[in-house]
Amino acid sequence: MTGSKTQKELAFLHDLYIATDWGERFAELVDEHVKLPKEGRVLYVEAGPGGHALALKQRGGQKLTMVCADENEECLELARVKAAALHESTKFQHENPEALSFTNDEFDLVLGNSSFTLPGKLRQVLAELVRVTKPGGTTAWWLTTTSSFGEFFSIYWEALLSAGADEHGTDVEHLITDLPGVSDVERWAADAGLNDVKSWTTIEEFDFESGEQFLNSPLIADFLLPAWLQPIPKAARESVRKELSRIIDEERHSGEFGLSLKATLVMGKKSRVQ
């Protein structure tokens, strides 16, 4: 996910481009369906540069304590500056979402942003979110689900073939099949200890004017493409990238290239019996 950018560069890109577009698609789901407690402690995992978390805190009022966590310390620094400007006492701390440092049963509401989490790590992250939720409290978790990015994956096969890297076609297949379905994540939530599990999904689209604009946009170049290209040998990645750009421009016929996303929010109450 990080490509060649530093953590500081990624934090600024996240604040300027990701939180204001990609992040807002998920934030709208959360704002519509997650009810903040009138008082108590809220944890927001992978809060990024903090804009959405601070908006929730202001909406929740002074009786709500907000703790925000992120893997990127530079994102946390940006969030602290925003909080200071708003005179908010929200706490921001570095955390690994797969191994949170908090004790069991600590928060009344736990919010987990897994929109960029690799599929193989999702269940462990969910287990941690539920672990630190109080019995009877709410865990809300959002991520991308199956059928996302289908437009890209369909041309990825062709680009590998054109670039002479078709032996990695099975890697593309894994990128497609590893994304969980909504029924999968609902089952995972129940297995992790949540009751009354509900989910909501919206189909979002991102439009690009050309292949180069697609590949150079911060969302793709710095947050999605590195993971998609990771199985490809470094020596072949530039050739694959050029083929991707060419194929996109040939297929769009002077129109826009659209990338679709299935944004899913899953929510449940932690069982009082563990």
In percent, how much of the chain has pLDDT > 70? 98
Amino acid at 195: N
pLDDT in tens, 178-187: 999 999 999 9
pLDDT tens digits, one per residue of 92-145:
999 999 999 999 999 999 999 999 999 999 999 999 999 999 999 999 999 999
Q: Structure tokens of 233?
A: 């040998």
pTM of the model as a whole: 0.95
Cβ distance 129 to 110 under 8 Å? Answer: yes
Average pLDDT, the chain: 95
- Closest Cα partner for 145 from 35, 17, 29, 56? 29
| CA distances (Å), origin 242, targets 232, 245, 264 | 14, 5, 32
Give me the residues paired with residue 268 across strands: 139
Task: List pLDDT tens digits, range 138-169.
Answer: 999 999 999 999 999 999 999 999 999 888 88
pLDDT at 81 over 60: yes
- pLDDT tens readout for residues 245-254: 999 999 887 7
What pLDDT is attached to residue 177? 93
- d(CA 45, CA 96) in angstroms, rounded, equals 9
Cβ atoms 128, 137 nearer than 8 A? no
Which of helix, strand or coil describes residue 52?
Answer: helix
Amino acid 122: pLDDT: 98
Check: CB of residue 103 under 8 Å from CB of residue 78.
Answer: no
- pLDDT, residue 1, reads 43
Q: What are the Cα distances from residue 133, in Å, to 31, 102, 136, 140, 246?
A: 19, 10, 8, 10, 48
Q: Which residues contact 70 (CB under 8 A, 6 or more apart)?
A: 45, 46, 47, 48, 76, 79, 92, 94, 95
| Domains, the chain | 1-145+180-205+261-274 (3.40.50.150), 147-179+210-255 (no CATH)
Residue 3 pLDDT: 52
Confidence at 2, pLDDT banded by 50, 70, 90: very low
Residues 274 and 131: beta-carbon distance below 8 Å: no
Percent of the chain clearing pLDDT 90 (strictly above): 89
Residues 6+ apart with CB under 8 A from 4: none
Count of beta carbons in the 10 Å neighbourhood of residue 87: 6
Q: What is the pLDDT of residues 192-248, one digit of tens each?
A: 999 999 999 999 999 999 999 999 999 999 999 999 999 899 999 999 999 999 999
